[in-house]
Structure 1
Amino acid sequence: MTGEAARIGQRIRTWRLKQGRSQAVIAGLVGITEDYLSRIERGRRLPTIPVLLLLARELGVEPSALLDAADSEQIPPAPDGSIDADVAACLLRAGATGEACVVTSQVLRERVDEVWQLWQTSSTRFTDAAALLPALIADVESARRRGGTEPVERRETHRCAADLYGLLRSYCRRTGSRDLGLLVADRAMRAAEDADDPVRMAAATWNLGHMLLNNDQSDGAEETVVHTIESLSRLPASREVAALIGALELVAVVAAARQRQWWRARERLSAQAFPAAERVGESNVLGTVFGPTNVQLHALSIEMEAGNASAALHVADTIETGHLPIERRFTFLLEVARCYDLDRDDAGAFVTLLDIEQMAPEDLTRSPLAREIITDLRNRSTRTYRRQISALAERVGIA
């Protein structure tokens, strides 16, 4: 029994008993077994984020009522335990607790842009972002609730919120928190709709598509982005619109690949994404990083997922990623390492992993694929590399 599990369980039990409701009733309404709820209340299980949200909704209380707002350690962690507890707490409370500063949309814009800059460039981006995000989430939500009388100010505040939650989608995805990722993707969409901003609504759809892919819902991701592509095509032509269309095309490409329809993924990449990238050039509209290089990265991904490691490595040799944000460079090198791993080229995989560790150590530690590759290498390593690979495994926390 852990302390946080016991305290959360006790609060759930207290709220349930205050309402005179049985475990059987609450469990049935939430969609879990009575035994599971019993173990939660006894502190034997820490509820997952979706279960916690459902329990709070059914008991008619804020999620924060089931958590100790003064103790961030009581936030249920993401599956890999890597999400910052203060960020998770603020997302669950939507900035509704504590005192938030009264700030203008101009100040919010500067702070949102600062976090985006850190997220895309810093080798310690998780630590850096986690230091800034809780206060920023609270201030953005406070500004949105406060509203104001000036339409331009209100609209810019909603745009700041949409951009912030777009970043948080990436943050939640990289920390392994799928449920919070869907939550922030939904908030990005609502903020973009409140701003009446079609380009940001498209970016929010791009975010949602990635979260659906991350939750193994490739059919839903493809249907969602294709509908948005059609809507964007009716807007006046601009580089922003073209970049968003291209970024959405890449989500559809990934969706086809996840369904193992390699021919369809390759065809969409060549017929839709490549021409769009040639028209747009290298861009980073609302964090989508769409352009010729990103399209090439997706060509690499298709061949890797199809098991064509040699073909994927041939594509990788033609790609220069130095100008890309750190997240895309990390993904590129990780997929190169995976291709070497599939080819049983242990030296190539190991050297690439060392390059990743130097560039983005926090990403390496948090990546399930990276941990899988390192484990593979350690399990089959020869005497030549065993000590070095075991040391790398220890540094990323693999027992």
Structure 2
Amino acid sequence: MTQSEEIRIGERLRFYRQGRKKTQAAVAGLAGVSEDYLSQIERGLKTPTIGLLHKFARILGVQVSVLLGEPEFEQDGVIHPVASELNRVMMTYGGPGAGDAVDLGELRGRVDAAWQIWQTSKERFSEGAEVFPGLVVDVQTAARSFRAPGEADERREAARIASDMYFLLRTFAKRIGRTDLSLLAADRGIAAAYEADDPLRIAAAHWNLGHIQIAQNEAEAAEETVMRAIEELRPRLDDGSEWVAMHGALWLVAAVASVRQGDAWTARDRLRQKALPAARSAGEGNVMWTVFGPTNVDLHAMSVEMECGESAEGLSIADQIDVTNSPSLERQTTFYLELARLNEQRRDDAAVLLHLLDAERSGPEDLRYNTLARDLVRGLLKRARPTLAPQARALAKRIGLVVA
């Protein structure tokens, strides 16, 4: 059994460091770690935290996705060929406007059903790939319809449907490695939300944009995006729980933006002082598919500690989380992956394997597409004791990381 040709994070880090003609001492100093620690990362003996990985990306002037080695789905067409089809249909903007042929009620039902697939199905990538391209075409066609003077209500509803569909497309495109399509979808989601003149959706659109800006290593821009949206929502906080929940969801993005910029204390303060009170007030919910509530705040608190390398504190927070409270399988799967990462930081390989298997049960397709998950499995293959090695190899084979 041989490993696939995927390259470890450390090897990619060394490649780009040397290509930029930077010494280990220089990069380590800028990142705030020892030269020995950087050397261990480059040799595959240590795995960098997410926050540290973002520091390296900024120092070397590359995207985090480059260091992670996100697969070129467009080129090989093996893991997810739908990317090229989504790119094509987004560039066509749907067919010519034909309001009489558009059933907005039916279209709303299809978008909501697609969201249900994404948040609740274990085969969400495969099932989503079957419906997303056609849905994009029909939603974009609807958005170009209803332009007569007496069709303002229908036009706004078509825009609301479009904004919701673009929110979904943003997260799907990001997960299959197409951050360019994800950014395009986020931008169109903002335009659709403003077309609908819907303040809640406008806030959600900025929440979406903030997420993809963070994914593109633009945490400072993400912080600016969500902080503006937070200020715009502030006058509406007495209007109901959904406004409070959207306000809290934006603070979660702001917290992630802080820790990605190396400011863990601001991230913690934003979680405790802003997001948590909003979650306690609004309760568990899923406003605009943000899955915001006390459980998601706790998940973000755990993630912040993981990104800082504070594994003991992260595991302590994890012990208090009942992830089954989350309505999203994606969040549940992410919880198990982050537990695996926390235990990987402590070199507890038995726990790493246990939580990777939990993640596989929760979201089997996520392990195939999630680069960090694949790196966790790869590291486990390298280190695993004989008692764990057979299970680690079997998992690696199931997610396509090794071939017989």
Any idea what the Cα deviations from partners look like across 1:181-215, whole Å, max 9, x if unmatched?
00000010010011011110100000000000000
Q: What is the aligned-residue RMSD (CA, Å)?
A: 2.1
> Where in structure 1 are there 5+ consecutive unaligned residues?
1-74
Written as runs of structure 1 = structure 2, the 5 A alignment for 1:17-28 is none
Deviation at 1:88, TM superposition (A): 3.1
Output the CA distance in 2 between the equivalents of 1:270 and 1:100: 48
Q: Does the 8 Å CA contact 1:350/1:389 hold for their aligned counterparts?
A: yes
Q: Is 1:362 aligned with 2:384?
A: no
Letter in 1 for 2:286: N
Q: Is 1:82–2:80 an aligned residue pair?
A: yes
Which residue number in structure 1 is paired with residue 124 of structure 2? 125
Identity %: 44
**Once the 2 structures are TM-superposed, how far is the Cα of residue 302 of structure 1 from its aligned partner?**
0.8
Contact 1:118 1:128 in 2 (8 A): yes
Larger radius of gyration: 1
Contact map agreement 2:93 2:141 (CA 8 A) in 1: no
Matched, 1:172 2:170: no
Please list, as runs of the form range in 1=range in 2, the aligned pairs for 1:307-322 lying within 5 A after superposition.
Answer: 307-322=309-324
1:305-344 to structure 2, matched below 5 A, reads 305-324=307-326, 325-344=328-347
Which runs of 5 or more structure 2 residues have no equivalent in the other structure? 1-72
Is the Cα contact below 8 Å between 1:78 and 1:177 reproduced in 2?
Answer: no
- d(CA) in 2 for partners of 1:356 and 1:118? 18
Matches within 5 A, 1:1-399: 76-77=74-75, 82=80, 84=82, 85-96=84-95, 102-149=101-148, 150-235=151-236, 237-324=239-326, 325-399=328-402
Moved more, 211-220 or 375-384: 375-384
Q: How many residues align?
A: 325
Counterpart residue type for residue 280 of structure 1:
A
Alpha-carbon contact 1:83-1:177 (below 8 Å) kept: no
How far the C-alpha of 1:233 sits from its partner, in A, is 0.7
Structure 1 residue 358, shift from structure 2 partner = 1.6
From the superposition, tell whether residues 250 and 79 of structure 1 become closer, same or farther in structure 2 (CA, over 3 Å): farther
Bigger mean CA offset, 237-246 vs 249-258 = 237-246
Distance 1:83 1:220 in 2: 31
User: How far off is 1:390 after superposition?
Assistant: 1.4
TM-score by length of 2: 0.77
CA distance in 2, matches of 1:100, 1:346: 58
Tell whether the 8 Å contact from 2:275 to 2:297 is kept in structure 1 after alignment: yes
Give the secondary structure class of the aligned counterpart of 1:234. Answer: helix
Q: Give the counterpart letter for 2:275 in structure 1.
A: A
